[in-house]
């Protein structure tokens, strides 16, 4: 007769080889939740000052898992050159062992000139998610009518996504565009009703517009979140007016431990794209030339990665 411990061990081994996820048992016999792991990408906007090979080498040396490539006007890949340049960028990343599973675009219309070339090329390269551009509210019509029109545009984009097996994620962004209230994204997605659409959730922008209520918006959008943006901010007063100032991770208003605790509670295991929008000599704005040593930019990127790993 096989000892019970050996039976259990053998059974678990077979299950593991079959790709079956097993619950973790505590010493008291209670089932513990499976640990959530998230890949961490670097947003390539902040490395526009170097080419594909140098960027990939830098990102690999820093210890990131992948690159969130800008495929939009003034990005690392120009939309009109996507068929030629996106494979080059992905190849450079692949040589360094980096993933490129998400890209950032300016797409808001399925019929835009370069939309289909972007999607077909991304699909052929194994990219899964892309961030959309933003919809602007037309205040000459009602908010409800705006949302209806946005959902129609999204549904048309979803049809293309189904053809190319991609998911388009809409980013919530502070300001007055669609997505700033957060709940409107939920309404748009509900009306568009497609599994090929979702959300790139940005905690910084969510907190700027909902300092205390952001957890409610996160809970509302949770089923649709495929990717995450990470950055931090603080409120400052300039000339008597309150302003938002971007700061390194952990130095601002975002309580990342609370944020990740809620992500874990909601079982959101989406990959993370870290943004660096605090002053970095122009790298923060996506400039192709910077006014500070590149080593200073890279140190900031290393510090933010180290911080986020410490609170995940």
The enclosing domain of 186 has a CATH number of 3.20.20.150
Number of domains in the chain: 2
- Domain containing 213 equals 36-311
3-state percent breakdown (helix, strand, coil) of the chain, nearest 5: 45, 20, 40
Let me know whether 139 and 1 are in one domain. Answer: no
Let me know whether 20 and 90 are in one domain. Answer: no
pLDDT at 35: 72
pLDDT tens, the chain, 312 aa long: 444 333 334 344 433 433 333 444 444 555 556 678 899 999 999 999 999 999 999 999 999 999 999 999 999 999 999 999 999 999 999 999 999 999 999 999 999 999 999 999 999 999 999 999 999 999 999 999 999 999 999 999 999 999 999 999 999 999 999 999 999 999 999 999 999 999 999 999 999 999 999 999 999 999 999 999 999 999 999 999 999 999 999 999 999 999 999 999 999 999 999 999 999 999 999 999 999 999 999 999 999 999 999 999
Q: Report the half-sphere exposure of 213 (CA within 13 A, side-chain side).
A: 8
Let me know whether 156 and 63 are in one domain. Answer: yes
pLDDT at 254: 96
Q: What φ, ψ does residue 95 adopt, rounded to 5°? A: -60, -25
pTM, entire model:
0.88
Let me know whether 64 and 1 are in one domain. Answer: no
Let me know whether 174 and 113 are in one domain. Answer: yes
Let me know whether 253 and 125 are in one domain. Answer: yes
C-alpha 186/C-alpha 197 separation (Å) is 11
Let me know whether 266 and 183 are in one domain. Answer: yes
Let me know whether 95 and 215 are in one domain. Answer: yes
C-alpha 205/C-alpha 192 separation (Å) is 23
């Amino acid at each position: 007769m096989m000892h019970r411990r050996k039976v259990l061990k053998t059974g678990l081994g077979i299950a593991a080889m079959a790709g079956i996820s097993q619950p973790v048992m505590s010493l008291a016999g209670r089932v513990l939740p499976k640990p959530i792991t998230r890949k961490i990408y670097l947003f390539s906007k902040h490395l526009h000052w170097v080419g594909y090979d140098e960027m990939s080498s830098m990102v690999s040396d820093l210890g990131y898992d992948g690159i969130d490539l800008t495929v939009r006007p003034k990005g690392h890949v120009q939309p009109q050159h996507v068929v030629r340049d996106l494979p080059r960028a992905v190849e450079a990343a692949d040589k360094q062992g980096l993933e490129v599973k998400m890209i950032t675009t300016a797409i808001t219309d399925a019929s835009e000139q370069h939309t289909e070339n972007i999607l077909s090329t991304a699909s052929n390269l194994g990219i899964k998610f892309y961030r959309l551009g933003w919809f602007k509210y037309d205040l000459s019509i009602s908010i409800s009518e705006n949302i209806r029109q946005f959902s129609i545009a999204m549904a048309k984009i979803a049809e293309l996504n189904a053809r190319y097996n991609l998911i388009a994620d809409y980013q919530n962004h502070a300001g007055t565009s669609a997505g700033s209230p957060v709940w409107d994204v939920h309404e748009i997605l509900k009306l568009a009703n497609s599994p090929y659409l979702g959300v790139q959730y940005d905690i910084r922008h969510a907190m700027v517009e909902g300092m205390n209520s952001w957890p409610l918006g996160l809970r509302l959008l949770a089923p649709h979140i495929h990717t995450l943006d990470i950055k931090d901010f603080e409120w400052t007063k300039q000339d008597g007016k309150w302003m938002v100032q971007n700061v390194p991770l952990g130095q601002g208003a975002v309580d990342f431990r609370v944020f990740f605790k809620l992500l874990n509670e909601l079982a959101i295991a989406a990959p993370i794209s870290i943004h660096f929008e605090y002053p970095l000599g122009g790298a923060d704005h996506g400039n192709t030339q910077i006014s500070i040593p590149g080593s200073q930019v890279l140190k900031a990127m290393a510090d933010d990665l180290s911080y986020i790993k410490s609170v995940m």
